[in-house]
Structure 1
């Protein structure tokens, strides 16, 4: 039963040794332990502050990246729109130039055809005139072979001249 009801001497010496241990620990160990705990608390707070700052920086960078991405998309859309306009303008200019060139070529061909036609008509007229003269010459030679016919023709022509 000694263990259940301790003697007064045991309680006294246990209390004295506890107080001595507490005084020694307070003098030599308590300050370093508290300093280490304070230092650890400070480093944890700094780490939390840095983590919060990093989180804010990441949020800022994310928003900047979003803004840059939106700006890049807008610039891309503007560039694509300008490229489409330039393409349409080039295609339109090419069509206009092709139409003008085609019209010029058609007009040139029409003029050439008309020139060739005029040359051919002049050539045909010359040939017809030459043939007509040849035929008239042959008819007149045949008719003027006889001197009497020539005299008769001259007399008839003179009568007509006098009447007119």
Structure 2
């Protein structure tokens, strides 16, 4: 039974040792331990507040990034719209220029055709006149080879001249 119930002397010395250790811990270890715990608690609180600030800052940066992204999309859309409009203007200008060039070429071709037509008509008239003169010359030679025909022709001309 001795093992189960300790002796009175043992309890006394255990109590004295416990109180001595408690006093020494209170005197020398309690304050540094409490100071270390308080510092640890403060550093954890600071870390948590810094994490909260960082979280808020990240949300602000995320919102700012979203805003910049939206602005970039708007700028991209504006640039694409301007490029499309510029392309359409260039196409329209090229089409107008091609139409004007085509109209000018058609007008030049018509003018050239009219000039060639007038030249051909003048050439035909000249050829007809030359042919008429040649025909008249042959007729006159034939008729003027006979002296009586010459005399009759001269008389006809005199009559026509005096009548006019």
Q: By the TM > 0.5 criterion, same fold? A: yes
Q: Distance in 2 between matches of 1:161 and 1:119?
A: 35
Q: Distance in 1 between matches of 2:98 and 2:24?
A: 107
RMSD across aligned positions (CA): 1.9
Partner of 1:56: 56
Equivalences for 1:39-118 in 2 at 5 Å? Answer: 39-118=39-118
* SS of 1:4 mapped into structure 2: coil
* SS of 2:122 mapped into structure 1: helix
1:3 is displaced (CA, Å) by 3.7
Q: Distance in 1 between matches of 2:98 and 2:162?
A: 71
1:17 is displaced (CA, Å) by 1.8
**How many matched pairs?**
164
Q: TM-score, normalized by length of structure 1?
A: 0.91
Deviation track 1:119-141 (CA, whole Å, cap 9, x = no partner) reads: 11101110110110111011012
Partner of 1:38: 38
Q: TM-score, normalized by length of structure 2?
A: 0.91
Change (3 A) 1:116 1:161: closer
* SS of 1:6 mapped into structure 2: coil
Does residue 1:139 correspond to 2:139, yes or no?
yes
Change (3 A) 1:152 1:23: same
Deviation track 1:74-101 (CA, whole Å, cap 9, x = no partner) reads: 1100100010000000000000000000
Partner of 2:19: 19
Deviation track 1:43-81 (CA, whole Å, cap 9, x = no partner) reads: 111111111111111111111111111110111001000
* SS of 2:145 mapped into structure 1: coil
Q: Distance in 1 between matches of 2:103 and 2:162?
A: 62
Q: Distance in 2 between matches of 1:61 and 1:160?
A: 117
Structure 2 stretches lacking a partner, 5+ long = none
